[in-house]
Structure 1
């Protein structure tokens, strides 16, 4: 018998770890306290829902998903021994901490005389397989994308035969059993069926306008697949195959729009490669400057940003969407990240930690890459002198303030021209338009100059 240790592959279909290792598998999931320590309640609830569906899929096929709690380096070999299994398979993870954990498990299995079988599954191409002509990993997305899009992809795998077994297992815990408060956000439905429903609906219509509408949050023209890709409730090969078929069948602007969506799949993979070769970026700047960046880290400003009470409407809408839905539109993620690092001059790591706690789709590689891009500290990052104007961004991408007023109730009924010029209005005009909405906590033009000065000091390689 073989044990398959599930982590970020909570599905049976298109799962290479289940199909590419010998013998029929029985499933195992281990609640690891070291992983849970970095989780947030919305992600845990989504994960538990996905596990419920996965366990049901195993049982429908006469098998079982075992549930255990503890250190995987101890639990995985013990489970294998109890089942008299001679192989344990799992799909590779690419963060530094995950690789350290997996090495400990591999060593423990070797000592127990059990064969560890690690399989490539989570992304289309393993780190190190797409490189520059000199053999180095890419640090610029555009060049990575040109090779990624033309590289042959594996076909999705079918569900394999599973081990016929009914061993004793633990019940699935609740969010509170695991030490979290029940999430206040509306967490989306998890599981492969839910992921496929989202994919079907998106590819039926919205993908054809994705290229022109994806940056407009009120349009909601995104797939919402990110938590499913994070937890692997749907396989990346299945998604990419469906998108490629549409690409082959489309022409003109429709084809360009489908290609734009496919490029976002490549962005996720690009950041996974970056993290694999640079595991330190989780806590350190990817891009180094001669001098430290002098972040100000004002706690009062940080708390106002978290609450969505900055007086910058599109920033506040994004932060409130995050709190209500455990999700934020991607364009707005860039805006709020830029605002934190360039207007409030707060270290990007503080914002990353807040997103990690609240986002249902938090992915270490993708979120870290996005935050460092906005903060001008990452690979292929926004140049430090290009600073988003939050009012201009709101006017450009939410011209009718439809997105803003969905989440900022104090502005409901206010004229969009007033909303988009809130920073320019007099106290009397603000009181008349929306008396309960706060005044701007900083002046953007002044903070922009301070941000430029901050980065120029960091860039100054003069020893004087």
Structure 2
């Protein structure tokens, strides 16, 4: 027999590691390990999504006379034990790129090899593995536009088939533990369904129409113009090749050049995910350290009250608060708004991007280390290809431009339901009595954007050694 160790590839179709195991001709034993070292870094909403995806995958295997073995314990002990139980000569898994995952995998590999069991690893989560798209000098690109030009022109592999029933081992697993059994409370938010069926339904719906408007709609949070596929890409309930093939079919169906360009705009976002995966693979320390080194340490402020106001969506900046409340209630946030709230934390509140990253890691159902670290460091002007430190998002202007009717804001900030769009977007300029009349339950702005913008620029100039002082 041969073991396929599922991790962030919770699907049977378009799974290159599983296909590699099938190619041996040996019956495949599917395995997932609930590793306490990994779960230490998890959160209720992500574990809830994980358990839902596991249950769905287990059903798929059981419908074909097999089962998904779900075991608890340190992977370096569990994986060799399962391999020994089923007399498996090889364990196959798909690569992951975070420092935590690679540390775990090194320990598992060492334990397996000590027991005389072979290891076979496959690149599956992204189209082009780290080290395959490089500049003339160096191991990875630090500027996305150069990476994108090569990524878009590289051939993409075709999706691989799911196993047939006869390819799978006749095994029976124990019940999947509950959230409570794993030590987690029920999440406050209700995330979207994370299963392969749900992912395929979402891909089909998106590629049947919204993808042709994506370039125009994607920045408007009330438009519903994004794919909402990020939780599925996080957990691997859809394969990257299957998704890309669906977008290519959509491009061939496009009736106008603008439609095809809109498909390309979506594919560009897929490339951003891979760009950040490459960066993380070669720079694992960026989870806690600035990618862009500064001559001096950035003098981040420490203000618990302002941080709590940001977390609660009580800053008095409507578009920021709408995003933070959407995060708390749904476990997801629109990407344009993610940039805005990250900019607000780091440039208006002058708080360390790492505290914002930690909050997102706790509440996002789609938290992906590479993507989230990349996004936070971009917004805070410390990362690869980052927003220049002197360009600071104006939350009022952004709200007026991307939510002109305040539809998104009113959805998530009900205190503003009766305020006009002009009052909402001009909230910072209203007199106290005007605010009281428009929305008595909504706070005044906690900081002055213009003043904090100047302080942010000074802060970064000092860190870069550019201050005139």
TM-score over 0.5 for the alignment? yes
* Distance of 1:406 and 1:463 partners within structure 2: 45
1:273 matched to 2:278:
yes
Output the CA distance in 2 between the equivalents of 1:211 and 1:461: 37
How far apart in 1 are the matches of 2:337 and 2:438? 24
How far apart, CA to CA, are the structure 1 residues paired with 2:257 and 2:266? 15
**Would the aligned equivalents of 2:222 and 2:408 in 1 still touch at CA under 8 Å?**
yes
From 40, 62, 65, the equivalent of 1:62 is 65
SS at the partner of 2:119?
strand
Partner-residue secondary structure (3-state), 1:217 = coil
Unaligned regions of 5+ residues in structure 1, if any?
none
Task: Give the alignment partner of residue 407 of structure 2, picking from 402, 406, 410.
Answer: 402
How far apart, CA to CA, are the structure 2 residues paired with 1:401 and 1:245? Answer: 35
Counterpart of 1:230? Answer: 234
Q: What are the superposed Cα offsets for residues 210-257 of structure 1, whole Å, 9 maximum, x if unpaired?
A: 000100000011111000000100000000111122223323110111
* Partner Cα separation in structure 2 for residue 361 and residue 45 of structure 1: 12
Equivalent position of 2:395 in the other structure: 390
Q: Which residue of 1 aligns with 2:359?
A: 354
Distance 1:241 1:135 in 2: 31
* Match for residue 300 of structure 2 among 291, 295, 302: 295
Equivalent residue for 2:184, pick from 162, 173, 180: 180
Q: Does 1:10 align with 2:10?
A: yes
Q: Which residue of 2 aligns with 1:314?
A: 319
Tell me the equivalent position of 2:370: 365
After superposing the two structures, state which structure 1 stretch, 168-177 or 302-311, moved more. Answer: 168-177
Q: Considering only aligned residues, what root-mean-square deviation do their CA atoms show, in Å?
A: 1.3
Q: Note closer, same or farther for the CA distance 1:11–1:461 as it changes in structure 2 (3 Å cut).
A: same
For residue 168 of structure 1, report the CA deviation from its aligned partner.
Answer: 4.3
* Match in the other structure for 1:119: 122
Distance 1:461 1:338 in 2: 21
Q: CA deviation at 1:276?
A: 0.3
Distance across 2 between alignment mates of 1:204 and 1:350: 39
Give 4+ residue runs of structure 1 displaced > 3 Å after superposition: 161-168, 461-464
Q: How does 1:55-454 map to 2 (within 5 A)?
A: 55-161=58-164, 163-250=167-254, 251-454=256-459
Normalising by structure 2, what TM-score? 0.97
Unaligned runs of 5+ in 2: none
Q: 2-side partners of 1:103 and 1:165: how far apart?
A: 27
Give 3-state SS (helix, strand or coil) of 1:276's partner: helix
Equivalent of 1:456, from 451, 461, 464? 461
SS at match of 1:218: coil
Residues 66 and 172 in structure 2, CA contact (< 8 A), matched pair in contact too: no
Q: Secondary structure at the match of 1:201?
A: helix
- Matched residue SS, 1:67: strand
Q: Deviations over 1:6-42 (max 9, x none)?
A: 0000000000001123223111010011111111111
- In the alignment of these two chains, the number of paired residues is 464
Please give the alpha-carbon distance, in whole angstroms, between the structure 1 residues aligned to 2:433 and 2:366.
Answer: 41
**Does residue 46 in structure 1 map to residue 54 in structure 2?**
no
Question: TM-score normalized by structure 1?
Answer: 0.98
Question: Residues of 2 paired with 1:320 and 1:56: CA distance?
Answer: 34
Distance in 2, matches of 1:297 and 1:383, equals 23
Find the aligned partners of 1:329 and 1:461 in 2 and give their Cα distance.
35
Quick check: 2:458–2:467 contact (8 Å CA) kept in 1?
A: no
Q: Does 1:31 align with 2:68?
A: no
